[in-house]
Structure 1
Amino acid sequence: MRIAELELIRDLPLFHDIAPENFDRLTEAALLQRFPARVELIHEGALPDFLHVVVEGSVELYAQHCGRETTLDILGPLSTFILAAVVRDEPYLKSARTLTDARILMIPAEASRDIFSRDSAFARAVVNELAMRYRSIVRALKNEKQRTGSERLANWILKADAQQGGNGYVSFEYDKRTLASLLGMTPENLSRSFSVLTQHGVRSLGRGLTIEDRDVLRSYAQPTPLIDG
């Protein structure tokens, strides 16, 4: 990898404090590859060969059962996946595929476990990231169980707006079927929820939507750090 790419990875909280010789060992066998959209990167049930880092693009984490499929998360730069399976050397509980063209760093799982056992700074960073992921899962569970579909959509719009600059226009970075699955809804329920939100300060516009009255939308969504972070 190029020096700029190594520095980019080095700045990630997971790798920031690793001893230089251990960081070199982690990355000397790593692969940095480009993938087109809709390429499956890992499959649930398989044992992990690599720890993955999204360097560019976006990746969908999803699961399938009895012919049904659901989106569990959507990751962008510079997210790692799936750390728990790598640390425990146990089968993946979810699959991953690129949503867009993407660059993915793949660090051998065996090397990751070896450095985890010998580098205390890396071990602390791994524990911290796993704790963050656990809290993220609890928030997602509360979001799905304690809110209606329209309320989940309203909070997703507020969060997406903040991530896209807070200018009141939210563009869809993936299709609405994927968004519905991410929010635990059917496409039909998502469509009805968009209709509900027209009464709460939201209007469709082109390939996205505009927030016409942020205060009205926030009053309906009732965001809270105990769910939304």
Structure 2
Amino acid sequence: MTLKPADLLRVRQLPLLEAAQADTFARLCRSAFLQRFPRGAQLTAEGESNDFLYVLLEGAVELEGTWNDRDSTLALLKPLSTFVLASVILDAPALMTARTIMRSQVLMIPGETFRQAVREDSGLSFAVAEELSGCYSGVVRALKNYKLRGALERLANYLLAQQTRQGGGATLKLPCQKRVLASLLGMTPENLSRAFASLGPYGVKVDGALVTLTRPAILARLAKPDALIDNHATLDSEPAGQATRERRRCERIAAHLV
């Protein structure tokens, strides 16, 4: 499907592509094509090479990892976001399977064309370095979250993060099924149910997909948000320079993750 002017404007707003020179951006778009996928379509397969860089324009995509007949949801992506960037840059097998979880529209940029553009366009190459650095920081944050916290603290911080992303109101809506949420937090569905029940004394009330935080200050005491782990936390003093850019990059990436 040919890119329409409105699509071009949206793609140009991506942090990854906004720094590219005009001729580089035009060349990438000429070689790219727009595709609509139904729910449940597999876009990439773990262990296989990727011929395309993917840009999610509409819908939602689940990133999943597997090992020894086990599987786990690693992230849920929302528009506008790119995925399999590292695999494309390295021309290496994908470490995750990407699958649509609703009807989605995806821009597909040929991998070799993108790699050539990165070699030739310094603005694009720096944007790629920033994007990958932000992703690396996100992985370190997630690793610290899993290694240093128990299930209750992980769930509490997730709820506080969602509250912030959804405007700060007392009631928030879980953006995915509880089964998927359990996998994202490194828990079983049964452990997630018990964790929600254990958070009752901290003011957490659950009604289906709706969660009300009646005592957020008490919940925050349990969660102990840390700006070096959580994007919803803040540092006592604002970092400067490159640290600020890294933090904002992480926040932009996190805004497209559930």
- Bucket of the pairwise TM-score, normalised by the shorter protein: over 0.9
Among candidates 189, 192, 195, match of residue 190 of structure 1 = 192
Shift of 1:207: 2.6
1:23 corresponds, among 12, 21, 25, to 25
1:14-93 equivalences under 5 Å are: 14-93=16-95
Matches of 2:168 and 2:39, distance apart in 1? 27
Distance in 1 (CA, whole Å) between partners of 2:164 and 2:36 is 28
CA distance in 2, matches of 1:133, 1:116: 18
Which residues of structure 1 form unaligned runs of 5+?
none
The CA RMSD over aligned residues, in Å, is 1.1
Q: Deviations over 1:182-206 (max 9, x none)?
A: 0001111111100111111110124
Among 148, 151, 158, the alignment partner of 1:149 is 151
Does residue 178 of structure 2 align to residue 176 of structure 1? yes
Flag as ranges the 4+ runs of structure 1 deviating above 3 A. none
TM-score, with length taken from structure 2: 0.86
Moved more, 83-92 or 167-176: 167-176
Query: Which residue does the alignment assign to 1:218?
Result: 220
Alpha-carbon distance between aligned partners in 2 of 1:223 and 1:38, rounded to the nearest angstrom: 35
Question: 1:114 is matched with which residue?
Answer: 116
Q: 1:35 touches 1:102 (CA, 8 Å); kept in 2?
A: yes
Q: Deviations over 1:14-62 (max 9, x none)?
A: 1112111111111112122222222211101111111011112221111
Query: Taking every aligned residue pair, what percent have the same amino acid on both sides?
Result: 45
What is the distance in 2 between the residues matched to 1:207 and 1:51?
A: 33
- How far apart, in 2, do the equivalents of 1:114 and 1:42 lie? 22
- CA offsets per residue over residues 131-186 of structure 1, 9 Å max, x none? 00000000000000111111111111111111122212121222111110000011
Cα separation, 2, equivalents of 1:20 and 1:136? 30
Q: 1:99 touches 1:174 (CA, 8 Å); kept in 2?
A: no
When the two structures are aligned, how many residues end up with a matched partner? 229
> Which amino acid letter does the alignment assign opposite residue 221 of structure 1?
A
TM-score, normalised via structure 1 length: 0.97
Comparing 1-10 and 206-215, the one that deviates more: 206-215
CA shift, 1:217, in A, is 1.1
Give the letter for the 1:227 counterpart: I
Give me the whole-angstrom Cα distance separating, in 1, the residues matched to 2:132 and 2:33.
Answer: 23
For structure 2, which runs of at least 5 residues remain unmatched after alignment? 232-258
The CA distance in 2 between the partners of 1:147 and 1:9, in whole Å, is: 37
How far apart in 2 are the matches of 1:16 and 1:86?
19
